[in-house]
Amino acid sequence: MAKRSTIWLTGVVGLLAALVAAAILLPRSFALTALSDVVQCFLLLSGAASFFPLVVRSQGRIRLFWSLITLGLFLWLSYQLLWTYYEVVLRREVPVIFAGDVILFLHLVPLMAAISLCPHIPRDEYSARVGQLDFALLLTWWFYLYVLIVIPWQYVMADAEAYNQHLNALYVTEEIAFLLGLVACWMTSKKYWKRLYASLLGMSVCYATSSTVATWAIGRNLYYSGSLFDIPLVTAMAWVTWIGLTNAKKPTSEAPESSTLYGVWVARCSMIAVFSLPLFAAWALSDAAVPARMRVFRLTLTFMAAFVMGIMVLMRQSLLERELTQLLQRSRESYDKLHHLQAQLLQSEKIASIGQLVGGAAHELNNPITAMLGYSDMLLSTQLTPEQRPLAAKIGQYVRRTKSLVASLISFARQTPTAKSPVDLNTLARTAVKLTQSQWEALEIEVRTQFDLELPKVLGDSNQLLQVCQQLVANCLHLLSDSGARVLTISTERKEESSVLQIACAQAFSSTDAEVDSLGMSACQGILQEHRGRISRELGEDGAILLRVELPIMEPAASRMKESIPGRWQSQPFA
């Protein structure tokens, strides 16, 4: 507890001790009455002020919870100020039929509203709205009971004895209902909220005890302000401040096992309140002990209450129907999503099975492919005629292309994430050209390179990206071997926040669409997607094919690079 709160609570305890000492030591007098009334006003003001920081720091239903408690305490303070005005300022007894009694009766209504919110139980928007309507029904019912039972003996036919009798009976009923609500909240809460409800329950029991004892003493002319009968009352008032100061921690909603039980009983009680109106109407008509004008007043009041509460019931029913419609729609959407998810799971299982099959087949193909590649190289090293050498070179080219495709199938079958590190696309491109050198030299294809020496590095797996570069170069060589073109240009450049590898097949206008689509782009797309990159194909006006591989650079620059300057580019035939 903070130092300020400790000092505050110490002052409250001091006022309580002073009032208890005065009740024990001082005789009945105006000074004792004034001291008692003023101290009670200060204690109630302190209690209401102690809850104000909780209102400011909270949000949503929890803020409304603290606000309602604070409102109930201010109503209690207002009643005590009226009582003090009569006894201290006017120096006369409070009237038996006191108009301020309605404030005392109403101060419990916000407290009942606070516990009806059940802030310790998480609720969705619909539950909160329905709960508010349920409480509005109960609140209207309590107002109806007060006007039906108490007000007639105050204004329709003034009778002090009947007024006090009916007021005390209704007030005790209200206190019992409030205590039962606190018990229900205490039983369904945990930790912070359980301690809070226990404190409120203890304070309320103390207050209910003091109210009952004071009523008994008033009936026997034993009560006066500042007497021993006020000790439980001022104890309850001081207890309020202790609750406000010791619950400064920001609470959160909990989800107890029986989270819907209390809300169900609130709805049931609201329905019972609605169905009780015909019974009260019958009682108003059958009570022959009261004058006819009082029966007419009660019957008219019952009809008005039935009209108002009937509108609330219609609103509740409309809200319920709307929520059921939305629930049905969400259920259908969930059902469709479940079917879609099942289809995806089934497709994933199929792909996993295909991957295992492809992986096994690819491993079995590697051995004969390696043997064919070795024999083709040996064949090229022998003495061949000018007509036989290009044919032998094509055999090696097709075998290498097949080996590259098998490597792609194995990579697809593994489907495992790889560690990524900074990679230089220039180095990868040079390595890919070097690894395919035997192919483009045998096919007498000229390979030109144009690399950006200031090209930013990318984040990726060097083996996978090298596989992409090598496969694209090998497939372009295969495409050029069937056309009249004999020039392959490989370049790199920066494009905004990406590093770009570009492969151009010059004058490949004789290629068919099927050959263009066989450039290995689909096999490389999976690897590039894992690296957040992409591959694209363009056809130039002269029929040349341009492949572009774009990968995001490691660290985006603050601004774009300036235009090319002399010395930045290195362009030469690869030898």
pLDDT in tens, 486-526: 788 899 999 888 899 998 887 554 444 444 444 456 667 77
In this predicted model, which residue has the larger pLDDT, 45 or 190? Answer: 45
| CA separation for the pair 173, 9 (Å, rounded) | 32
146-165 pLDDT, tens digit per residue, is 888 888 888 888 888 888 88
pLDDT band at 366 (very low <50, low <70, confident <90, very high): confident
| Tokens 């209390």 -> residue | 262
Among the listed residues 485, 493, 481, 393, the one whose alpha carbon sits nearest the alpha carbon of residue 449? 493
Mean of pLDDT values over 355-360: 69
The DSSP letter of residue 444 is T
Give residue for tokens 């490389």. 524
Q: How far apart are CA 418 and CA 223, in angstroms?
A: 86
Q: Which of 408-412, 426-430, 554-558 has the lowest mean pLDDT?
A: 554-558
pLDDT of residue 260: 46
Closest-CA residue to 189 (of 108, 120, 247, 272):
120
Q: What is the mean pLDDT of the chain?
A: 80
**Separation of first and last alpha carbons in the chain:** 82
HEC letters along 497-511 = CEEEEEEEECCCCCC
Q: Is the pLDDT of residue 2 over 80?
A: no
d(CA 79, CA 237): 13
Please give the average per-residue pLDDT across 411-423, as a whole number.
Answer: 68
Model pTM score: 0.57
Phi, psi of 492 (to 5 degrees): -130, 150
User: At residue 157, what are phi and psi to the nearest 5 degrees?
Assistant: -145, 100
Q: Among positive and negative, which fits the CA dihedral 359, 360, 361, 362?
A: positive
Number of residues that make up the chain:
575
Mapped to the 3 state alphabet, what secondary structure does 398-427 carry?
Answer: HHHHHHHHHHHHHHHHHCCCCCCEEECHHH
Count of CB atoms situated within 10 Å of the CB of 332: 10
For residues 10-16, average pLDDT: 93
The answer to whether residues 479 and 512 touch, using CB atoms and an 8 Å cutoff, is no
Mean pLDDT value across residues 380-391: 79
Please report where in the chains the tokens 């001082």 appear, as a residue.
26
Asked if pLDDT for residue 566 goes beyond 50, the answer is no
Answer with the residue of higher pLDDT: 556 or 352. 352
pLDDT at site 70 = 93
Fold of 419-573: Heat Shock Protein 90 (3.30.565)
417: pLDDT confidence band, cut at 50, 70 and 90?
Answer: low
Cα torsion 290, 293, 295, 297 to 10°: value is -130
Confidence of residue 415 (pLDDT cuts 50, 70, 90): low
What whole-number distance in Å separates Cα of residue 132 and Cα of residue 127?
A: 9
Q: What is the CA radius of gyration of the chain?
A: 44
Q: What is the pLDDT of residue 349?
A: 74
Q: Where are the chain's structural domains?
A: 3-250, 419-573
Does 124 have pLDDT greater than 60? no
Q: Which residue has the tokens 């409030």?
A: 178
Using the CB atoms, write b or e for 418-438: b if 16+ within 10 Å: eebeebbbbebbbebbeebeb
**Contact indicator for 174, 105 with CB cutoff of 8 Å:** yes
Q: Which residue did the predictor score with more confidence, 18 or 191? A: 18
Confidence of residue 321 (pLDDT cuts 50, 70, 90): confident
Query: 449 with 574: CB under 8 angstroms?
Result: yes
Taking residues 421-431, report their average pLDDT. 90
Q: Given a cut of 90, is residue 393 above it in pLDDT? A: no
Q: Return the residue matching tokens 């108002």.
A: 308
**For residues 487 and 145, what is the distance between their CA atoms, to the nearest angstrom?**
99
Contact by Cβ (8 Å): 280, 147:
no
Domain 3-250 bears CATH identifier 3.30.43: no
